[in-house]
Amino acid sequence: MPEPKSTFDATYPCDFYEPAELFEPDQMYTVPEIARLLQELEPDAEIDPDTEAVLIDWAIPWVMTHADDLVIAEPLAEDGPGYYGVAPHAVDGGESDGEAENADLRDGA
């Protein structure tokens, strides 16, 4: 049920990090680790499962929204999680080698 804004003591801007602000450029992260980072926690911070579930609910749309600035890696184990990192172009503002190759393929080169 919606609540009037006057119900709350305060409201805050809904600002989210950009991938280059959140990730170390040479590291890859799982969704639960991203969820912690978005809350300014260490990636390996201990949190209770219910809190983690809520944080993951926030992290998944963030990953989808920033997909153009992310790279993904296959899980390290067959039943393990996927990993995400910041794309090179999102860090240095340039086009990565993979993007240049893909652009060449799309252009028929």
Domains and CATH numbers, the chain: 19-106 (1.10.10)
Write down the mean pLDDT value for the chain: 87
This prediction has a pTM of: 0.74
pLDDT in tens, 59-78: 999 999 999 999 999 999 99
Rounded Cα gap, residues 67 and 61, in angstroms: 10
CB neighbours (10 Å) of residue 33? 21
